Amino acid sequence: MRNLPLFVIQNLRRRKLRSWLTIIGIIVGVLAIVSLMSLSQGLKDNITKEFDKLGAQKITITSKLSSTGTETSIGLTTNDIREIKKVSDIRLVVGKINSGIVITYAGEDKFFTVSGYDVSQMSDILNQDNLELYKGRLPSSNKAKEIVVGYDFYENTDNTKTTMNRPINSGGLFKKNMDVGSSIEINNEKYTVVGILKDTGNKQTNFACYMPIDTLRKITETKETEIDSIYAIIKEEADVEVVGQKIKDRLERSRGATDFDVTTPKQASKDREDMLKIVSIVVIGIASISLLVGGIGIMNSMYTSVLERKKEIGVMKAIGAKRKDILSMFLLEAGLIGFIGGVLGTIGGFLLAFVVNIIGNQLGAELAIAFNLQIILVALSFSFVIGIISGLLPAYRASKQEAVDALHEE
C-alpha cells in the first residue's frame, strides 16, 4: 500500500479521544522510567566525580560490624597502626576516633559528632578530604582544649529551613554563630574555637568538628590504645588496590583474624554505585508496570479498532490489499501510538526529574540529573516495541479476515 504512514495517521486522527487515552497510558510509564533513570544516572555521575576529587589515595580500615551493628572484633588499636606503617608505598597512617558530644554555646546545648586526630597529621587528612581552613588555624597540640568547626557554625545560611535539611548526627546549628576565638563548653569545661573550615556546599562536612586526639580521649575516657578507624595515605605512584590488599594481608597475620574491613576509594565508589543500581532496578521495575498497563491499553484499543473496521478491512481486501498490508497497517498504528507516548513521556520525564532535582536541593538533598542520548533512545525504543508487541495479535487477527466474510458480517 502506498502512503501507508499517512493513512495510519488519518486513522488515529479520526479516533482522537481513544488514541489520546491510549497514549496517556504509555506517557505515564515512560515518564516514570525516564525520570528515575535520569536521577539515578546523575547520582552515579556525582559519585564518580567525588571519587576523582576526594581521597583518591586514602584507604580506610575499620572494625567489622555484625548485622546488629555491634562490634564482633576486639576493635582497632595503635598496634594496627604500627603494622600498617610497615607496608610499602604508604606515605602516612592516621588514627581517628569519633564520638557524639553535647556542645554548649551561648546557652544552647547541641549534639554533634566530633572527630579526633593527631594534630601533626590533621592537615594532611583534611587535605585528603578536600577541606581547607577559611580562617584561623589548626589545634596547636594533642592536649590543647581547642576545636575546629565546619563553615555552618560560622555562618548558618539555613536558619529558615526545616530540620529535614540537617544531618541526623546533629541537633542543628546554634542561634548565635561561632567565630575564631569563640568559647564553647563540653562537660562543663571550656574549649576555644581556633579554626573555621571553608564552605564545601556539603552539609555533612559543613557540620564537621575536629579536635586533638588526646583531648577527645580525655573527654570520652577512651583508652590510649583504642582507635575507631585508620586512614592509610599512599604514595602518588602507588596502586591503591595493590596497597589495600597488602594492608589486609598484614593485618590478618598480625591480628590472627579477619575481623576488620579494608576499603579503597574505588571499592567504596563501586559499593555505592552497586547499591544505587539495585535501588534503580527495583524502582524502575515497579514503574515499568505502568508501561505494561499502557501496552494492555494499546492492545485493547487495537482489538476494538479491528472490530469497528471490519467493513474497511473487507473493502481494502476487495480492492487488492494483501494480508501483509493489513498487518503492516495495524502494527504501524500500534507502534506509532507507543512512539508518540514515548516522545511525550521522555519530555515529561526529564521535566519531572528537573523539578525533583530543584526541590531536593532546596531541602538539602544533593541530587543531580543526567540528560544523555542513551536514556532517550532506550525510552523511545522501549515504548515503540511495546506498541508493536501490543498490536501484534490484533493486527494478525485483522489480516486473517477474508473480504467476503468481513463485508457479509457488516
The whole-number average pLDDT for the span 65-69 is 47
Whether 15 maps to a domain, the answer reads yes
The band of 66, judged by pLDDT with boundaries at 50, 70 and 90, is very low
The answer to whether 149 and 209 have CB atoms below 8 angstroms apart is yes
Q: Is 366 helix (H, G, I), strand (E, B) or coil?
A: coil
pLDDT band for 29, please (50, 70, 90 cuts). confident
- Above 60 in pLDDT, residue 55? no
Average pLDDT over residues 245-256: 92
Containing domain of residue 373, as a range?
A: 4-51+270-409
For residue 364, what pLDDT is reported?
61
pLDDT for 190 beyond 80:
yes
- For residue 162, is it within any domain? yes
> Of 84-88, 92-96, 264-268, 348-352, which gets the smallest average pLDDT?
264-268
Q: Mark whether 176 and 322 lie in a shared domain.
A: no
Supply the angle between the helices 310-318 and 323-362 in degrees, to the nearest 10.
130
In the structure, what pLDDT confidence band is assigned to residue 378 with cuts at 50, 70 and 90?
Answer: confident
The pLDDT tens digits for 269-291 are 666 667 767 766 776 777 677 67
pLDDT digits (tens, 9 = 90+) for 310-337: 667 777 777 777 778 777 887 888 888 8
Last residue of a domain, one of 200, 227, 258: 258
Pair 76, 96: CB distance under 8 Å: no
Which tens digit of pLDDT belongs to each residue from 125-167? Answer: 888 888 899 999 999 999 999 999 999 898 865 543 433 344 4
Instruction: For residue 260, count other CB atoms closer than 10 A to its CB.
Output: 21
Q: Are residues 141 and 248 in the same domain?
A: yes
The last residue of one of the domains, among 209, 224, 258, is 258
Record the cell numbers describing residue 46, joined without a space: 556525582
DSSP string, 189-242: EEEEEEEEEPP-S-HHHHT-EEEEHHHHHHHHT--TTEESEEEEEEPTTS-HHH
pTM for the full model?
A: 0.58
Q: Is the model's pLDDT at 219 over the cut of 50?
A: yes
CA 327, 332, 333 angle in degrees (round to 5)?
100
pLDDT of 100 over the 70 cut: yes
Closest to 28 (Cα-Cα) out of 39, 20, 40: 20
Residue 333 lies in a domain: yes
Distance CA 263, CA 59 (A): 6
Give the count of domains, the chain: 2
* Pairing outcome for strands 209-212 and 108-117: parallel
Dihedral sign computed on CA atoms, order 329, 333, 336, 342: negative
Question: Is 68 part of a structural domain of the chain?
Answer: no
Separation of alpha carbons 253 and 249, rounded Å: 6
